[in-house]
Amino acid sequence: MPLIEWTDDMSVGLLELDDDHKLIIEAINQLDENANDATRKDVVRQCLMRLRRYAEFHFAREENVLAACAFPALAVQKKEHQDFVKFIQEATQRFDAKPAESAEIISQELLGFLRDWLRNHILIEGMAYRPYVEHSAVAKQAAKSFKATEIWWS
C-alpha cells in the first residue's frame, strides 16, 4: 500500500501542476516501498536524480504560472523551492561521498523531508495560490505552454 495517495482535496486547481505534484508522490512511494530493499543504494541514487529533475521542471513551471497570475506570494514560493533544491543538493553530496554507508539514513531523511514538504507545498502553499490559478485562462496557458527548453536553454 502506498505511503501517500493522491486525493482530490490535494488539487491546486490546475491539471498540469496537479500532475507534477503526483510525480513527487510517486517518488516518495517508490522510496518508501524500497526502504528495506537490498538495492536501497540504487533506489536512493535514482530518487535523488529524479528529485533534481523534478525540481528543475516543476518549480520553473509553477513559478511561471504564478508570475503570469500575479500571485502576491511568489517570493515565498521561490524561497520554498530554493530550500527544497538545497536539501536535495546536500543529500546528494553526502550520498555521493559514501553511497553504501549513507543510503539508509539518507533514505529516511528524504522520506521525512518529502512528506513534510509535500504537506506544506500542496496543502498550504498550493491552496493559497489555488484561487489565482483555478479558473484562470492565463494560468492554464502559462502551464500548458511551458517547455523544458525554457529551463535548460534560456
Q: What is the pLDDT of residues 57-83, one digit of tens each?
A: 999 999 999 999 999 999 999 999 999
Whether the pLDDT of residue 152 is over 50: the answer is no
DSSP 4: S
Q: What is the pLDDT of residue 56?
A: 87
Quickly state the pLDDT bin for 154 (edges 50, 70, 90).
Answer: very low
Q: Where are the domains of the chain?
A: 14-152
- Which of 54, 51, 45 has the alpha carbon at shortest distance from 88? 51
CATH 1.20.120.50 for domain 14-152, yes or no, is yes
Q: Between vectors from CA 15 to CA 129 and to CA 20, what angle results, nearest 5°?
A: 85
Percent of the chain with pLDDT over 70: 94
Query: How confident is the model over 80-107, as a mean pLDDT?
Result: 93
Whether the pLDDT of residue 5 is over 80: the answer is yes
Distance CA 154, CA 148 (A): 10
Query: How confident is the model over 44-67, as a mean pLDDT?
Result: 92
Q: What is the pLDDT of residue 148?
A: 60
Distance CA 81, CA 135 (A): 24
What's the whole-number average pLDDT of the chain? Answer: 89
Residue that wins the pLDDT comparison between 28 and 151: 28
- For 13-32, how does the pLDDT look when each residue is reduced to its tens digit (9 = 90+)? 999 999 999 988 998 898 88
Distance CA 59, CA 55 (A): 5
Q: What is the pLDDT of residue 86?
A: 95
Distance CA 28, CA 17 (A): 17
Quickly state the pLDDT bin for 149 (edges 50, 70, 90).
Answer: low
- For 123-135, how does the pLDDT look when each residue is reduced to its tens digit (9 = 90+)? 899 999 999 999 9
Whole-angstrom CA distances from 100 to 39, 49, 89, 107 are 10, 17, 18, 12
**Within its chain, how far is the Cα of 58 from the centroid?**
7
